[in-house]
Structure 1
Amino acid sequence: MTGRTRLRPLAGVLAATLVAHSGTRISAIAIPWFVLVTTGSATQTGLVAFCEMGPYVAVKVFTGPLVDRIGPRRISWIADVVSAAAALLIPLLHARGMLSFGALLVLVAVIGTVRSPGDLAKDVMIAEAADRSRVPLERATGLQGVVERLSGTVGPAAGGALVGLVGPMVGLGVNAACFALGSLIIAVALPRAMGRPQGRVAEKVAGEGGAGGGYWHSFRQGFAFLRREPMLLTLSLMLGITNLLDAAYSAVLIPVWVRESGHGPAVIGLMLASFSITATLGSFVAAAVAHRLRRRPVFFLGWLVMGAPRFLILMTDAPMWAVAVVIGIGGLGGGFINPIIGAVTYERIPPDMVGRVRGIGEALAWAGIPLGSLIGGAAVAGVGLAPVLITAGVLYFLTTNLAGLRPEWREMDRHRGKGGSTESLPTTPVDATRPAS
């Protein structure tokens, strides 16, 4: 087997993730800007983001057992096809004068509903793809972090340029094309045997009697598994708060700050891209050296430089280049966070429970995202931008630093051997899931 053939499973999953996430980042600029300039309402802008991320999180709670049962490869393909169709309907309806605000809410809700299992399925396949490609798990999660951050660079940059030059509806058309390309990559690049229930897992699921008792039994197993691990449960809850603040920041606070500062939508892309460029660099470094570092100090140092400064710099009269530098430094620290979360959680989940455990854990971590955009929009409308920026920055600092004082975080380095290698892990449930930071 040649090196190129051997790496095909991991490369295929990463490529599908890159194009799908890049398209999502484009729509994350196009839709809020479209609503903000057509309605002038920060509340409605937050409501649109809520209607996408609310179903996204709610569905993710219950999707895990289906991913384990049907197989992540098939789930990913179906989700990308449906997402492409729903995203394409938005500019088509707008061109015909048929896109009401209610119709927009329904379509973004459909996208959020189907994107949730699609994203989970791609995440689930990382561990199998790393094994098939014979790539160390920490390196694979580091590359996954690179792809996520790279999509956060390409997507916002392209989204800001498209929205500024040709309008938000063209950006949504590109978003649909990205989902379609992602489904094609999954269908063509991944081996057909990949991402299927195998061996005792398939037999066990098939013997549980279909979607009735079998599904709920599987769901309860995943929930009980997650409850057993205090460190990972605390991690999911902490990420729920930081993701709430991040959602308010990207979906509401940045667009409102840009508008009040007299900048155009391209600056939104610049701000998000400056974070993602340096976060991509941080993820590259993490992929190369993270297995040799102590996880806990690197993890919390990353949060310290990534969190509050991004909010507080917008409170000053700093020039745009200084704002970009502060955001970029935060991205560099943030680039180390997701690879560490990924390695810690992937290595602790038995393969036959990956979908259900990760689905529940990620849902906890993402639960704050729809609330963030909704609360952020209402808060800005109620008290103004400046008080919300201060409050969000302080909450971010307290959440990420005070939570680190809890004793559970020592578990992060417990299974590390000499030289940063991972020692053998217990095969009984120890738990986890990798929420996104």
Structure 2
Amino acid sequence: MAGLLAAMTVSLTGTRVSAIALPWFVLTTTGSPAQTGVVAFAEMAPYVLVKALAGPLVDRVGPRRISWVGDVVSATAAGTVVLLHALDLLPLGALVTLVAVVGAARGPGDLAKEIMIPEAAERGRVPLERATGLMGVTERLAQTAGPAAGGAMVALLGPLAGLAISVTCFALGSMIVAWALPRGMGHSAPAQEAPEAGQKGQEAGQEGYWRRFGQGFTFLRGEPLLLSVVVMVGITNLLDAAFSQVLVFVWARESGHDAAVVGLNSSVAGATAVGGSLVAAAVAHRMRRRPVFFVAFLLAGPTRFLVLAVDAPVWAMVTVFAVGGFAAGFLNPILGAISYERVPRHLLGRVNALRDSLAWAGIPLGGLVGGAAVVAAGLTPVLLAGGAAYALTTSLTGLRPEWRQLDRPRRTGPSVVPAPRERAGTTDGGRAERSP
């Protein structure tokens, strides 16, 4: 468990550092916000698309190998950016291509690490909620420390130094996967899960890509609780993206504050989210999930919109962001536990890939929707509408009957691939997760 969490920590930190260094690098070298946006899109679009399509491959090849390859490719592509720029051989087209390669590699690599969590928990004899809580701590620490380290490195040594740190993190992640994780961990699912199934197991190992993809789609379609999670988190992710990419910056400009207040709120929320994740790791397996989950969502989401809409003093905003961050620390552990409990181990790759990609589909659109809404209606109405939409989405979702299953986890049998069928009643960044 410790080796997997270490690999996740350094890889996610590299991603967070590059999220600061890369846009600033593009902006300072080109002077064009439009080109900066193009490069950002070039990373996120392949991330979501390739992650959606990579599930059957991860299940067939094995998550340990895919994780290692993803980190190696990410380090190589990011290192090529640094090298070509140093040689003055980096046109925009080459930069966009290399950034797209990084995004395409990060998607399957992140997915592979996530789906090794239940096996790592079993090997370490750790309760699943605690394991997903520790994963949440890892993500929140990377979310808090990565941007701070990236910003400091860029300020002191320039954006190219920040990219070099990302390269180092990706390379270190690949070494940890290769050396710290047991070689028997993360074998391809049919080889590990279905040896006793005889001919059925051999046939499962010979299934084609599109049949595997279809199995993941059919399984997800037949799980009402997982589908409800995807829809709810997809909507809240879109609202979160609009808030973080546009609304909070428009508020800072119009209210007379600056980016320092935005950074303060984000840092406080990130720090308290680490605390929430630690508490969740310690006690979440003893708590009733359903009330904790929906109360945490209400505290973490709508309150941020509303406190900016009423233009509260800075101390009040910091307090709201601190409480919301602490509450958010409970969300991804619960979302992760739902998925790991309800999806058979040999289907985790293809199901989680579809789940995460659908839940993240609105993120690239969040900024566009938020910007257009502010232009059309003004900031305060949009903040109020966003907070109301957030509250209604989470509250009304909680009234649906499938959410009663949240406190009654169903363990799935790992041995044989089930025939795809509809099931009556049955993730989060996170991972379907909330966005990091």
Shift of 1:54: 1.5
For 2:327, the aligned partner's letter is G
Q: Which runs of no fewer than 5 residues in structure 2 stay unpaired?
A: none
1:299 aligns with 2:283: no
Q: 1:293 to 1:262 in 2, by over 3 A?
A: closer
* 2: CA distance, partners of 1:87 / 1:383: 41
Preserved contact between residue 159 and residue 269 of structure 1 (Cα < 8 Å): no
Shift of 1:372: 2.2
* 2: CA distance, partners of 1:323 / 1:40: 33
For 2:160, the aligned partner's letter is M
1:263 aligns with 2:258: yes
**CA shift digits 1:96-126 (9 cap, x unpaired):** 5554444443333222111000000000110
Alignment of 1:11-410 (within 5 A): 11-34=2-25, 45-197=36-188, 198-199=191-192, 201=194, 207=203, 214-254=208-248, 263=258, 269-315=263-309, 317-376=311-370, 388-410=382-404
* 1: CA distance, partners of 2:373 / 2:154: 26
State the TM-score, normalizing by the size of structure 1: 0.85
**CA shift digits 1:129-156 (9 cap, x unpaired):** 1111111111111111111111111112
Deviates more, 1:362-371 or 1:226-235: 362-371
Q: 1:104 to 1:307 in 2, by over 3 A?
A: farther
Name the % identity.
59
For 1:76, the aligned partner's letter is S
Preserved contact between residue 341 and residue 411 of structure 2 (Cα < 8 Å): no
Shift of 1:253: 4.2
* 1: CA distance, partners of 2:369 / 2:34: 9
* 2: CA distance, partners of 1:378 / 1:36: 23
Query: What root-mean-square deviation, in Å, do the aligned CA atoms of Structure 1 and Structure 2 show?
Result: 3.0
State the partner residue of 1:4.
Answer: none
How many pairs were matched up?
A: 418
**CA shift digits 1:159-189 (9 cap, x unpaired):** 3333344443322221221111111111111
Shift of 1:195: 0.7
Deviates more, 1:169-178 or 1:316-325: 316-325
Preserved contact between residue 149 and residue 276 of structure 1 (Cα < 8 Å): yes
State the TM-score, normalizing by the size of structure 2: 0.85
* 1: CA distance, partners of 2:379 / 2:33: 11
SS of 1:347 mapped into structure 2: helix
For 2:163, the aligned partner's letter is L
Preserved contact between residue 118 and residue 128 of structure 2 (Cα < 8 Å): yes
Shift of 1:385: 5.5
* 2: CA distance, partners of 1:24 / 1:432: 35
Q: Which runs of no fewer than 5 residues in structure 1 stay unpaired?
A: 1-9, 416-422
Deviates more, 1:348-357 or 1:252-261: 252-261
Q: 1:247 to 1:190 in 2, by over 3 A?
A: same
